[in-house]
Amino acid sequence: MSELCFQLKGSVVTAIVLELYRYARDDFSAQLADKVRQAPMFFQQTPVVISLEKLEPDQGAIDIDDLLALCREFGLRPMAVKGAPGELTALLEQRGLALLPAGNAGRAVMPEPEPKPAAEASGTPEVVVKTVVEEKLVHRSSKVVTRPVRSGQQVYAEGADLIVLAPVSEGAEILADGNIHVYGALRGRALAGVKGDEGARIFCQSLEAELVSIAGNFKLSDGLRETVWKSPAQLYLQDDTLFVKPL
């Protein structure tokens, strides 16, 4: 038998979702340039998913090649398009982009059983047994990290909270499906509720982060400097707005 050539593994990769509301080239370019100026290192070679779900109805046709070229010009690397209309799918596939369904369209749906004919009046009454499949969230113990998280390292707490009893360096990344607690300086990236938990929070002893995110809603360092900087802080999501408050 030949030696194993590869192995498939699951992984967590940070990707930006760019929700497009309208596309006017000059406006888009100026606004994207402003975002990149806030955190130039973060946007270099960063994977991005372009979402077309919230495009204004009167937007009209988009020059998708122009849009992709502008993203790449600013360091973003488009990897997929979400909620693309049918007329764009062939073009996007030619460009090597993955097509993601809009909203919850990708979830599996249990098929309804076919109706059976009613039982004859003289026969035995029909007994119908229904099976209810309920999704249940399994809570796990918190993941505790006692050593500093160095630049280039990534720590992920799957299905749990993440507790870091040491500093998080610039260029490091910590992620959790639940809350994140950092009992030290938070200088890297912290992403809580990465699977969509909007009730997740981030707590830290000193907020100096490059980026913080809860359920995909994020703030960059420039925005954080205007609030609580180099002080104990908590971050939480409310009505799709990420709030930063002192502890």
Q: pLDDT for 122-161, tens place per residue?
A: 555 555 555 555 555 555 679 999 999 999 899 999 999 9
| Average pLDDT over every residue of 102-127 | 50
Whether 164 is in a domain gets the answer yes
Q: How many domains does the chain have?
A: 2
Whether 24 is in a domain gets the answer yes
| 156 lies in the same domain as 207 | yes
Q: Give the amino acid at 158.
A: E
Rounded Cα distance, 230 and 238, in Å: 23
Over residues 91-101, the pLDDT tens digits come to 999 999 999 98
Q: Which pLDDT score, from 0 to 100, does residue 72 have?
A: 93
Domain termination site, one of 100, 134, 152 = 100
Whether 195 is in a domain gets the answer yes
Q: Which residues, in sequence order, are CB contacts of 71 under 8 Å at separation 6+?
A: 18, 32, 48, 50, 77, 78
Residue 193 pLDDT level (bands cut at 50, 70, 90): very high
Whether 39 is in a domain gets the answer yes
Domain termination site, one of 34, 65, 100 = 100
| 90 lies in the same domain as 151 | no
CATH of the domain at 78: 3.30.70.260
Whether 58 is in a domain gets the answer yes
Q: Which domain holds residue 46?
A: 16-100
CATH of the domain at 192: 2.160.20.70
Q: Determine which helix (DSSP H) or strand (DSSP E) holds 30, and give its type and residue range.
A: helix 25-38
Whether 203 is in a domain gets the answer yes
Among 16, 91, 14, 20, residue whose Cα is nearest residue 53 = 20
* Contact assessment for residue 149 and residue 155, using Cβ atoms and an 8 Å cutoff: yes
Whether 211 is in a domain gets the answer yes
Q: Could you tell me the pTM of the whole model? A: 0.61
Whether 132 is in a domain gets the answer no
Over residues 47-70, the pLDDT tens digits come to 899 999 888 888 778 899 999 999
Q: Which pLDDT score, from 0 to 100, does residue 117 have?
A: 53
Rounded CA Rg of the chain? 23
| 149 lies in the same domain as 235 | yes
Counting DSSP H helices and E strands in the chain, the numbers are 4, 15
